[in-house]
Amino acid sequence: MFNFKIQPIRAQFPALRQTGASGQPRVYLDGPAGTQVPQSVIDAMVNYLITSNSNTHGQFETSRQTDEIIHETRRAMADFLGADSPDSIVIGNNMTTLTFHLSHALANFLQPGDEIIVSRLDHDANIAPWLALEKRGLRVRWLPFSHDDCTLQIDRLDQLITDRTRLIAVGYASNAVGTINPVQDIIARARERDILTFIDAVHYAPHGLIDVQALGCDFLACSAYKFFGPHVGILYVHPDIGERLQPDKVRPQEDTLPDKFETGTLNLEGIAGVRAAVDYLASVHELAGAPADAGTSRRERIARSMQMIAEYEQTLSRKLLRGLQSLPHVRIYGIQDDARLHQRTPTFGIRVEGLSPAEVALQLAERDIYVWDGDFFAMEPVRQLGLADSGGLVRIGAVHYTTGAEIERLLEGLDEMG
């Protein structure tokens, strides 16, 4: 693996220079709930508010600048997701709101008795919007996961698919235990039967390259605040299906993609930050020490950066996994085989013997090590694992600005709880 230079990366993030109440530097292992942001994203948002703050489609300069910023952000997100057109990029408040909006639009497209397959491993934002359609007479069927390694039971998928299956909704990766799901296989099986596919890529987006054209999915959603940007949601809609759907909207809104999916005034300063977040990710490989590649496209630079991020994060996963395995009072949920680390993100769900997840998170917080406890809106996997009534999980989530020394601080803190 290329020698990943971490300090130039960390220098981009002002939050990483902060110290906590203990006087030690803060260790942010809370990335699955929201990452820190680089200075370039902060600057882009502030600059928009100072120089271009206006609503859209006006005849004056700041309004035209706002229109251009929105268009440029769609182009940036098309590059980030591998989409062939910025018109396939819908912007909204967050992934959850966008998914509910899409489910309502699909309800008008589907018929009572039609079926949707969802996964027991998913965040509820990719379950509740589809369960809501049961009120319209649709049926939801469940794809289970194996409890020993928290991977989907893909062999059950063909048994669940019927001639009434119209949509398969599945996460790219689990936000609770880190499993990367075989979405390409799932999409291929769906396409053979003309079944639509919706991919929740919120947790996967900061960890690996997304290519909606290679995947062949119909819809894919993500949230910029999980990949070093502001609180903005993004939905990719394949034009073939997007043009046929009629989402709820105000009457003056355009009836074409992507406008017809966007209700009300958007988070305009946030949109400026999204573009900056994509440009930051396109620069990671050079910041980390790779040779400059002037003249290549933004998509190519993103691909190089995401490959380096994935390789570096596997070293973090290996260090964290081995450290956790050495602690007899810690139980790990999910993939624990070195040879399969490419099948997980550096997100680990654990329990510590004798302590509730909240107690563990609080003790780590006193050391200025930030982790999450609970179910993280991944209600189904936590319930299926039998942990819902005892506080859920402790979730440790590294990203590419995490250092090996920070992992060691975490492990030391957990060791002292034994």
CA–CA dist 106, 19 (Å, integer): 47
The CA-atom distances, in angstroms, between 356 and each of 148, 330, 389, 393, 416 are 21, 12, 11, 8, 15
Q: What stretches of 173-254 show up as alpha helix (H) in DSSP?
A: 183-192, 212-215, 239-242
Distance of alpha carbon 205 from alpha carbon 73, whole angstroms: 16
User: How far apart, in whole angstroms, are the C-alpha atoms of residue 284 and residue 400?
Assistant: 9
DSSP 355: S
Report the alpha-carbon angle 395-359-180, nearest 5: 10
Say what the pLDDT of residue 295 is.
Answer: 76
What's the CA gap between 351 and 337, in Å, rounded? Answer: 18
What structural domains does the chain harbor? 7-37+310-415 (3.90.1150.10), 42-277 (3.40.640.10)
Residue 327 to residues 59, 106, 221, 324, 330, Cα–Cα distance (Å): 64, 48, 37, 5, 6
Record the tokens describing residue 395, joined without a space: 């979730």
Q: What integer pLDDT is reported at residue 2 of this predicted model?
A: 59
pLDDT at 401: 98
Cβ neighbors of 97 (< 8 A, separation 6 or more) are 233
**Distance (Å, whole) CA 394 – CA 371:** 7
> Which DSSP category does 135 fall into?
G
CA distance 347 to 343: 11
Q: Where are the beta strands (DSSP E) in 46-182?
A: 89-92, 115-119, 139-143, 145-146, 151-152, 165-171
Q: Which two tokens stand for residue 240?
A: 């073939």
- What averages of pLDDT result for each successive group of 10 residues across the chain (418 residues)? 87 97 95 98 98 97 98 98 98 97 94 97 98 97 98 97 98 98 98 98 98 98 98 98 94 94 95 98 95 88 97 98 98 96 97 98 98 98 98 98 98 96
Residue type, 191: R
Q: What pLDDT is attached to residue 294?
A: 75
